[in-house]
Amino acid sequence: MKLSLDRISKNFGSQVVLHSVTASFDQVHTLVLIGPSGGGKSTLLRILAGLVPADSGTLTIDGETVRFEEEYLLKHRRRIGTVFQAFNLFPHLTALKNITLPLVRVHGLSIENAEEAAHQILKRFRLDDHFQKRPAELSGGQRQRVAIARAVAIKPRLLLLDEPTSALDPEMTAEVLEMIQELRREGRNFILVTHEMGFAREVADQVVFLAGGRIAESGSVEDVFERPASQECSEFLARVLKY
């Protein structure tokens, strides 16, 4: 995946959330965004997903410039799989129907083809025994795995994961991280926002440290974690890796 961010900025009212964010990645498979809370990571991920338009700047993915116009963004969203920390599953639908609904309504599959695809992906991620359960009947880890399966089912060009384990206990976190690692081994391109520093070091090709709405540092895992160039990144890692 080639990714270019050129002076991406975003304000919410008088609050500056992203300020002239600029970075370029020629070939990246797994990009991990780290940094303090409120630094702009989730907003940047939503811009990448086409859920929030940038106020200014240019975003290019694999040579295609993303236009921040609603008609274009509707098409862009159909090619991006997004997973949030709060699962975002429909509570009244079963695991199976949570996956088939976007395949039918957004991607135009027949109900039969959508159900076949959903059953295949649930089986692949060891969730086939739970296809008739609603979210309230699933564990937190199972709910997040269904959310990831739903994102993967649309065969996205890019998978975006925003703190997918933040609401989970350690055992459920391990379930979800194993699933993400499996997707990485398959060669899927994804961008991950996480506070799980150990996992970030294990899966990332490139790391971006975002703080105060700016990229303070970016580079390989070794460069950012072992030889941080900025004091801000160095102090952040010292805090989060202390215990």
Residue 165 is assigned to a structural domain of this protein: yes
How high is the pLDDT of residue 148? 94
Q: Is the pLDDT of residue 167 over 80?
A: no
How high is the pLDDT of residue 174? 87
pLDDT, tens digit (0-9, with 9 covering 90-100), for 79-130: 999 998 777 899 999 999 999 999 999 999 999 999 999 999 999 989 999 9
Q: What per-residue string of b and e applies to 162-183 under the rule 16 or more CB within 10 Å gives b? A: bbbbeebeeebbebbbebbeeb
Residue 189 is assigned to a structural domain of this protein: yes
Residue 94 is assigned to a structural domain of this protein: no
**Which strand ranges, in their side-by-side order, compose the sheet holding 15-25?**
15-25, 3-12, 56-61, 64-66
How high is the pLDDT of residue 84? 86
Q: Is the pLDDT of residue 172 over 90?
A: no
Q: Number of structural domains, the chain?
A: 1
Mean pLDDT of the chain: 93
- Mean per-residue pLDDT for 133-142? 94
| Full-model pTM | 0.93
- For residue 207, report the phi and psi dihedrals to the nearest 5 degrees: -125, 135
Burial of residue 234, with CB atoms counted within 10 A of its CB: 0-12 exposed, 13-18 middle, 19 or more buried: middle
Q: What is the pLDDT confidence band of residue 243, given thresholds at 50, 70 and 90?
A: confident
Q: Is the pLDDT of residue 163 over 80?
A: yes
How high is the pLDDT of residue 111? 96
pLDDT, tens digit (0-9, with 9 covering 90-100), for 30-72: 999 999 999 999 999 999 999 999 999 999 999 999 999 999 9
Sign of CA dihedral 64, 68, 74, 79: positive
Residue 33 is assigned to a structural domain of this protein: yes
Q: What CATH number is associated with residue 53?
A: 3.40.50.300
Residue 103 is assigned to a structural domain of this protein: no
Give dist(CA 97, CA 76) in Å, integer.
23
Domain limits at 79?
Answer: 3-86+158-240
- For residue 196, report the phi and psi dihedrals to the nearest 5 degrees: -85, 90
pLDDT, tens digit (0-9, with 9 covering 90-100), for 202-214: 899 999 999 999 9
Residue 132 is assigned to a structural domain of this protein: no
Residue 65 is assigned to a structural domain of this protein: yes
Q: What is the pLDDT confidence band of residue 240, given thresholds at 50, 70 and 90?
A: very high
